[in-house]
Amino acid sequence: MANLKCNACGGTYNTTQRDGTAYFHQCPAEIITTPASSTASGAGAGEVREQRTAIRDENIRRGIVYVDGKPHKFVPNPEERNQSLLVPGEAGIISEGDGVSQLD
Ligand SMILES: [Zn+2]
């Protein structure tokens, strides 16, 4: 359980949700800014959307399976076509973004 601040989007979060399950932060893909002067002219007016360049995605990379608590991945078997081997692999998140800062 840790309180963290995402250095990419500025979001703050706890790694454990209220129900006890783990939370995996993912930055919003877009940065949406709305000039204060445009609020009276209707929704979306003057809204500026930019793609975020550094996205943190704490979801676990695909293709990783755990065997006896250790990360493994499937790789093609060089000796048997159409078969795969399960070998030790490195667990990790999809993208670090700009990292995180510890809040407490
Ligand atoms: Zn973020």
| Residue 90 pLDDT level (bands cut at 50, 70, 90) | confident
Domain limits for position 70: 3-102
Q: How many domains does the chain have?
A: 1
Question: What would the pLDDT profile of 22-44 be if each residue is shown by its tens digit?
Answer: 999 999 999 988 877 655 555 56
Q: Which of 1, 53, 61, 4 is nearest to 29 (CA)?
A: 53
pLDDT score of 50: 93
Q: Quick one: 57 exposed, middle or buried, by C-beta within 10 A (0-12, 13-18, 19+)?
A: middle
Ion ligand 1: residue ranges with CB closer than 5 A? 6, 8-9, 11, 27, 56
- Mean pLDDT value of segment 90-95: 88
Share of the chain above pLDDT 70, in %: 91
Q: How far is the CA of 80 from the centre of ligand 1 (A)?
A: 43
Residues 55 and 30: their CA atoms lie apart, in Å, by 10
Q: Is 0.85 surpassed by the pTM of this model?
A: no
